[in-house]
């Protein structure tokens, strides 16, 4: 049993429960889903619910290390409940919340602990202490690890061209490594939640899942759950866009013209690239790299640097995308014009 705690202590695993050794430890205990509803694990279940509530309310999950066993076991239990909600917002929110707390913890860790955690994620990372490198650059990581984890990070400081780069390695401060590790952790948890098998839960756990879903709906704006900022008026979408949006939200395939129309419309009314990408995440054939490239191209960040507008109503009619044109569509020749007029009339 002691061999489980190889690179990390039990306290480490309670603080960083997404590590492989933590998963190995939980697997060794061989706890069934049914056992989670027993009196023996009531504290674990309570803490799992608390983790999820903290994520929903505050977008960060605190650490309670007074009982390492409960803290460690509550993580996979929370993952089970979050995955069972089958609500993308809750999954993203939980992954982000765990990653944010990990970032806070990592900034205060020793160099050796940071190296061990980074290598747990298969990073090619080396301390710079033997190179005569002065602070603040304590670490160097291979540029492939760097690029993989800066995709979602904004700001010029994260562009590779603005970082010290030597022989394929990017030199980073402790805080920067912690930030990139938190991004790795966020993606790791999101991926785990996506591939988590949908199991038939005991009644008590199923009720807790419904409680989590209802709590989210009452505490978080519906538009935010869908990834639509409050400044965007979904009720002002023209019928064609509303139909495309609904189909995309449910993971139903869209034609090439349909995808282009929806993407260009949403970008032009103020939705961020990240919000648009999230809408397409539920597609069976979703590929983040390709989707991101297409969204950036339509927004004018790639290629010709032209920000594309959605097709006109006439073009949409030709492609069979114009549906249920009602009285409100009369005199309108473009989806954006419909949206602006509807927003103006309801404000």
Q: What angle do CA 86, 89, 90 make, to 5 degrees?
A: 65
User: If DSSP codes are grouped into helix, strand and coil, which group holds residue 248?
Assistant: helix
Mean pLDDT computed over 285-309: 87
pLDDT of 209 strictly over 50: yes
How many whole angstroms separate alpha carbon 160 and alpha carbon 139?
15
Q: What is the pLDDT of residue 330?
A: 87
Within 59-139, residue ranges assigned H as helices are: 68-85, 88-106, 111-120
CB 217 within 8 A of CB 210: no
Spell out the domain ranges in the chain.
Answer: 2-104+188-219, 109-181, 225-346
Given a cut of 70, is residue 235 above it in pLDDT?
A: yes
C-alpha to C-alpha distance for 21 and 160, rounded to whole angstroms: 32
Cβ neighbors of 9 (< 8 A, separation 6 or more) are none
Question: In angstroms, rounded to a whole number, what is the distance separating the alpha carbons of residues 100 and 344?
Answer: 39
Residue 251 is classified by DSSP as T
Query: CA dist 284 to 186, 249, 280, Å?
Result: 21, 12, 9
Bin 305: left if φ > 0, else alpha if -120 < ψ < 50, else beta.
left
Q: Give the count of beta carbons closer than 10 Å to the beta carbon of residue 282.
A: 13
Q: What's the rounded Cα separation, in Å, for the pair 248 and 66?
A: 45
State pTM to two decimals.
0.72
Confidence of residue 2 (pLDDT cuts 50, 70, 90): very low
Look up tokens 């919340």; give the residue.
97
Q: What angle do CA 97, 252, 321 make, to 5 degrees?
A: 120
What pLDDT does 1 receive? 37
Mean of the pLDDT values across residues 314-320?
93
Output the six-digit token pair for 209.
């899942």
pLDDT band, very low/low/confident/very high, at 184 (cuts 50, 70, 90): very high
Q: What is the mean pLDDT of residues 84-105?
A: 91
- Examine the pLDDT at 224 and tell me if it is beyond 80: no
Mean pLDDT of 60-64: 93
Residue 140 to residue 176: CA distance in whole angstroms: 11
Please tell me which residue, 47 or 215, carries the higher pLDDT value: 47
More confident residue, 252 or 37: 37
Confidence category of residue 5, pLDDT binned at 50, 70, 90: low
- φ and ψ at 61, to 5 degrees? -110, 115
Stretch among 65-74, 95-104, 270-279 having the lowest mean pLDDT: 270-279
Can you give the pLDDT at residue 299?
92
Tokens of 105: 């913890």
pLDDT of residue 141: 98
Per-residue pLDDT at 142: 98
CA angle 299, 303, 306 (to 5 degrees): 45
For 111, the token pair is: 């160099």
Residue 11: its H or E element: helix 10-15
More confident residue, 150 or 152: 150
pLDDT of residue 194: 83
| Whole-angstrom distance, CA of residue 157 vs CA of residue 23 | 34
Q: Which of 7-16, 160-169, 229-238 has the lowest mean pLDDT?
A: 229-238
DSSP E strand boundaries for the chain:
125-127, 139-142, 165-166, 169-172
Q: From residue 338, how far is each of 123, 269, 313 by CA, in Å?
A: 50, 11, 10
- Name the residue with tokens 């404000």: 347
pLDDT at 193 over 60: yes
Q: How far is CA 255 from CA 21, 58, 319, in A?
A: 44, 38, 10
């Amino acid at each position: 049993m002691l061999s489980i705690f190889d690179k990390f202590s039990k306290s480490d695993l309670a603080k960083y429960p997404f590590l492989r050794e933590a998963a190995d430890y939980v697997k060794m205990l061989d706890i069934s889903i049914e056992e989670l509803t027993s009196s023996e694990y009531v504290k674990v279940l309570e803490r799992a619910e608390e983790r999820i509530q903290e994520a929903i309310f505050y977008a960060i999950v605190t650490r309670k290390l007074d009982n390492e066993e409960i803290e460690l076991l509550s993580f996979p239990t929370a993952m089970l409940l979050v995955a069972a909600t089958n609500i993308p917002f809750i999954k993203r929110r939980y992954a982000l919340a765990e990653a944010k707390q990990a970032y806070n913890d990592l900034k205060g860790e020793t160099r050796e602990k940071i190296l061990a955690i980074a290598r747990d994620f298969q990073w090619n990372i080396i301390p710079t202490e033997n190179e005569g490198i002065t602070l603040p650059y304590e670490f160097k990581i291979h540029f492939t690890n760097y690029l993989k984890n800066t995709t979602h990070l904004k700001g010029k400081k994260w562009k590779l061209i603005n970082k010290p780069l030597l022989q394929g390695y990017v030199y980073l401060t402790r805080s920067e490594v912690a930030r990139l590790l938190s991004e790795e952790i966020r993606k790791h948890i999101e991926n785990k939640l996506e591939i988590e098998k949908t199991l038939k839960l005991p009644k008590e756990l199923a009720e807790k899942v419904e409680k989590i879903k209802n709590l989210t709906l009452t505490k978080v704006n519906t538009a935010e759950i869908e990834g639509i900022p409050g400044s965007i008026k979904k009720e002002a979408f023209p019928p064609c866009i509303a139909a495309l949006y609904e189909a995309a939200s449910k993971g139903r395939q869209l034609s090439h013209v349909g995808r282009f129309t929806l993407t260009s419309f949403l970008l032009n009314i103020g939705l961020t690239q990240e919000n648009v990408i999230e809408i397409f995440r539920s597609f069976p054939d979703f590929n983040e790299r390709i989707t991101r490239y297409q969204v950036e191209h339509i927004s004018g960040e790639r290629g010709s640097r032209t920000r594309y507008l959605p097709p006109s109503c006439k073009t949409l009619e030709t492609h069979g995308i114009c549906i249920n044109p009602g009285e409100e569509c009369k005199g309108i020749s473009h989806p954006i014009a419909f949206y602006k007029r509807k927003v103006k009339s309801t404000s």
